[in-house]
Chain A
Amino acid sequence: MRSNDKTLSIPAASVSVKTARKSKGKKAINRTPYLFVAPFLLVFIATIIIPVLMSLVFSFMEIGQEFKFVGIQNYIHLFDDPFFLKSYLNVFILMVGTIPVTVMLALFFAVLLNSPKVKAKGFFRTVYYIPTVTSMVAIATVFLTFYNPTGLFNTLLSMFNFDPVPWLTDPKWARVSLCISIIWMNTGYFTVLFLAGLQNISKEIYESASIDGASPVRQFFSITLPLVRPIMLLALILSTINGLNTFEIPSVLFGASYGPGGSTLMIGQYLYTTSFTNMDFGKASAVAWSMVLVAVFLSIIQFKVGGKDSE
Chain B
Amino acid sequence: MNKKKQFITIILMVFVMTFSVACGKKENTSSGTDTKKLNKEERVKEAEIEVWAPKGKHTDYLLNAVDLYNKEYSTNLKLKTVDVAPADPMLQKVTPLLVAKNQLPELMYIQDQDMPNILKKFPDAFYDVTNFGFLEKHEKDFYDSKIEMMKFASNKKHLFAFPHDLGIVMAFYRDDLFKQVGIDYDKDIKTWDDLIEAGKKIKAATGKNTIGLEGNGDQYLLQTLMQQNGKPIVDKNGNVNLATDAGKTALDILDKFIKADLVSYYASATNKNDSYKDVAIIIHGSWYAGTIKNMFTDLQGKYKVGSVPALPKGDLGNVAVHGGSGWAVGKNSKNALAAMQLMEFATTNMESQTKLLELGVSSANTAVYETDFANQPDSYFSGDKLFLDILNDGKKSKPLYYYPHFVEVEKYGKLAMYDHWHGKDAEKALNDKASEVASMSGVKVNK
Contacts and interface: CB of A to CB of B under 8 A. Distances in A.
A281 B408 CA distance: 16
B422 A261 contact: yes
A97 interface: no
Contacts of A258: 216, 411
Nearest to A260: B216
Contacts of B265: 149, 169
A145 B267 CA distance: 11
Interface stretch (B18-26, B292-300, B368-376): B18-26
Interface string A224-263: 0000000000000000000000000000111111111110
Which secondary structure dominates where chain B touches chain A? Answer: helix
B23 A67 contact: yes
B415 A254 contact: no
Contact of B22 (A54, A168, A277, A279): A54
A81 B419 CA distance: 18
- Give chain A's interface residue range (CB within 8 Å of chain B): 35 or more
A212 interface: no
Interface of A: 45, 49-50, 53-54, 56-58, 61, 63-67, 69, 80-82, 144-145, 147-149, 166-169, 252-262, 272, 275-279, 281
A169 B267 contact: yes
A276 B95 contact: yes
A263 to B, nearest CB: 9
A275 B117 CA distance: 11
A259 B215 CA distance: 9
Contact of A64 (B18, B121, B411): B121
Given A64-B121, A65-B27, A257 B216 contact: yes
Interface string B262-283: 0001011111001000000000
Contact of A279 (B91, B216, B408): B91
B345 interface: no
Nearest to B267: A168
Contact of B271 (A50, A53, A144, A260): A144
A54 B18 contact: yes
A279 to B, nearest CB: 4
Contacts of A261: 216, 415, 418-419, 422
Given A65-B27, A257-B216, A50 B270 contact: no
A279 B268 contact: no
B92 A276 contact: yes
A257 B271 contact: no
- Give chain B's interface residue range (CB within 8 Å of chain A): 35 or more
B429 to A, nearest CB: 11
Given A57-B19, A147-B267, A278-B117, 5 more contacts: A169-B267, A255-B269, A258-B216, A260-B216, A281-B99
Contacts of B19: 57
A64 B120 CA distance: 8
A265 to B, nearest CB: 10
B91 A277 contact: yes
B129 interface: no
A92 to B, nearest CB: 20
Contact of B408 (A63, A64, A253, A278): A278
Interface in B163-187: none
B194 interface: no
B265 to A, nearest CB: 6
A67 B270 contact: no
B121 A82 contact: no
Contacts of B18: 50, 53-54, 57
16 contacts: A53-B14, A53-B18, A54-B22, A57-B22, A61-B22, A144-B271, A148-B271, A168-B267, A253-B268, A255-B268, A257-B214, A257-B216, A257-B217, A261-B422, A276-B92, A278-B408
B425 to A, nearest CB: 16
B436 interface: yes
B214 to A, nearest CB: 7
A254 B121 contact: no
Interface in B345-383: none
B418 A260 contact: yes
A287 to B, nearest CB: 15
Contacts of B418: 260-261
A26 B422 CA distance: 75
Contact of A254 (B88, B99, B216): B216
Contact of B415 (A49, A81, A262): A262
Contact of B118 (A144, A253, A254, A279): A279
A277 B88 contact: yes
Nearest to A261: B418
Q: Report, nearest first, the 6 A-B pairs whose CB atoms are least far apart.
A: A168-B267, A169-B215, A255-B268, A64-B121, A53-B18, A279-B117
B124 interface: yes
